[in-house]
Amino acid sequence: MPKSPVNLARYIEECEAGLPNAKADLDAAMKRQAFFDYDGFRYESDFKRDAESSFDYQGRPHRPSGFLRECIEILTEDVYAPGPSREWEEKAGDDLLQQVYRDNHIDSMMAEAERLCTLNDIAAIQIDAGDGDYAKKPITYRLWGREQFHAWTDPDDVTKPIAVVTVDKFDLQTRYRLWNEEVVITFLTKKSNEMKGGRVAYQVGPPDPHDYGVIPFSYVPYTLQIRDFFVSSIGELLGKAEIRIDDRLCLLDESIAKHLNPIPVAEGVPDAWKPILEPNRFMRMPLAAPRIGATGGYEPGERARLYFLERRIDVTGAWEDCTNYMNQALTAARVPLSAARMEQTGVASGISLLVEHAPLLKRARKRQAAYKVHETALAKKTLLCAGNHYGKSALVTSSTAGDLLLGWPQASVPIQTPDQLEMVQAEIRGGFKSYFQGLMQWYGLGHDEAVEMAKSIEADNAELAKIAPSLVEVSENEPELPGQQGQDEEEPTE
């Protein structure tokens, strides 16, 4: 049974009101993004104490930790380092996709999408033909973080959006752009943020029809969208942990600063006494003013006393407690303590490094399986949008007829050691890995870069043989490295 067209009236009202029903999620995502950008202290409400004014808050020491960003970068650094080789099974589609991938630096964009979805659950990639030139740059990818877009899903399929809105800043205004499969509608707020009748944003012109045929967005969720569109990530836990850690560090910093500069107190001194506050000088303490004794006569005053109002603080204990909490949060986020602390007492072997880095490499391999789904969806929608927009039916057909083949290099620790080299060479000789894959692993290259490097090595070796044959003979006696063509062959015995 065909479905009726989507009624945009309720979504238009949401945009005009400033997305009130999505505000909590957008604000939470914006807050975590601010902490990731080292700008979390503008959320002073999380750090102000009871009865503390903004002036008091600004006047005391602040000590940010950068904990959230550290964890996100550690967790995501191995997924697209390097990225995979990509090939669309159908020729017409592959030609376009390879150009789009080059134009948009696809590995860097997907690496950033991985960071964004780990931080804030999901990211969106907009497929924008705009005024594009099919020969020069047919498609532009635009990456949106969770704080920059919202989606409404099909009641019968909660993983499928039926309308999407993006939020950005434009000329001191907030701009909302509402998309469905047929039109895009733009809304702008007033610069003065005037509100009238509950409206925040006002529609700019009539709906503009587009020719993509679908909502031109593909999505990169933290986990596969099986039960919901907006999935959960580790970012919320890490964001709350950073607030707690930063608050404790600020309290510790303030306590140290105050008690390293204690308050001086003088007791039993005459009212007219003026102290000499200079270091390394003797000070004669005066007697206090005479006082009336029990018999009614005057008695001499007591000797004055000077001291500091000082309290000892357990800095070591407070720091240990903060460190233990950070370690607990790191463990919950599956971040190896050795990776976060960078604790190396010497040069470790390749096997030792691999064991320490194994949780992150295992995570990267698991994420690569999910990105096969995400990148395939992006490729299909790119071909469909480009085919409809430029009137190329072959691309539309290719979007359903083909499939994306991804070739991921083996995840490895980016520190080269002799035992790692021996392992790579043994895998190549044993047929478990190609020569190109060895170059990809050793140098952190993509497949195309590895092919070009192999060509360059062959050309350099040929040129070296012409101008310095003796150096070639020396190099042939050296241990094999990736890039050398020699094999460990035994000399025939006579």
Amino acid at site 409: P
pLDDT band for 63, please (50, 70, 90 cuts): confident
Counting residues of the chain whose pLDDT is more than 90, the rounded percentage is: 41
SS3 content of the chain, % helix, strand, coil (to 5): 45, 15, 40
CA distance linking residue 107 with residue 281, whole number of Å: 68
User: 132-139: long-range contacts (C-beta < 8 A, 24 or more apart)?
Assistant: 134/386, 134/390, 137/103, 138/96, 138/99, 138/100, 138/386, 138/390, 139/96, 139/100, 139/103, 139/104, 139/382, 139/385, 139/386
Name the E strands within 196-295: 201-203, 208-209, 217-221, 263-267, 291-292
pLDDT, averaged across the chain:
82
Angle at 415 between CA 414 and CA 419, to 5 degrees: 120
pLDDT band for 160, please (50, 70, 90 cuts): very high
Lowest-confidence region among 119-128, 167-176, 234-243, 416-425: 416-425
- Residue-level length of the chain: 494
Lowest-confidence region among 196-210, 214-228, 310-324: 310-324
Domain boundaries, the chain: 416-489
Mean pLDDT of 34-50: 87
pLDDT at 481: 45
Mean pLDDT of 75-96: 90
pLDDT at 123: 97
H or E stretch at 362: helix 350-390
pLDDT at 321: 81
Counting residues of the chain whose pLDDT is more than 70, the rounded percentage is: 80
pLDDT at 469: 79
User: Is the per-residue pLDDT at 387 higher than 80?
Assistant: yes
Q: Which residue has the higher pLDDT, 450 or 95?
A: 95
pLDDT at 360: 84
User: Is the per-residue pLDDT at 251 higher than 50?
Assistant: yes
Amino acid at site 155: P
Q: Which residue has the higher pLDDT, 479 or 220?
A: 220
pLDDT band for 191, please (50, 70, 90 cuts): confident
pLDDT at 411: 65
Judge contact between 395 and 383, C-beta under 8 A: yes
Give residue for tokens 């929608």: 381
Mean pLDDT of 187-200: 69
pTM over 0.85: no
Lowest-confidence region among 39-53, 165-179, 410-424: 410-424
pLDDT band for 475, please (50, 70, 90 cuts): low
User: Is the per-residue pLDDT at 1 higher than 60?
Assistant: no
344: its two tokens: 């190396």
Mean pLDDT of 344-353: 50
pLDDT at 175: 93
Mean pLDDT of 24-38: 95
Give residue for tokens 């505000």: 23
pLDDT band for 297, please (50, 70, 90 cuts): low
pLDDT at 10: 92
Angle between helices 393-401 and 350-390 (to 10 degrees): 140
pLDDT at 394: 93
pLDDT band for 488, please (50, 70, 90 cuts): very low
pLDDT at 64: 87
Judge contact between 286 and 274, C-beta under 8 A: no
User: Is the per-residue pLDDT at 391 higher than 90?
Assistant: yes
Angle between helices 106-120 and 235-259 (to 10 degrees): 70
pLDDT at 71: 92
pLDDT at 188: 93
pLDDT band for 354, please (50, 70, 90 cuts): low
pLDDT band for 298, please (50, 70, 90 cuts): low
Q: Which residue has the higher pLDDT, 298 or 20?
A: 20
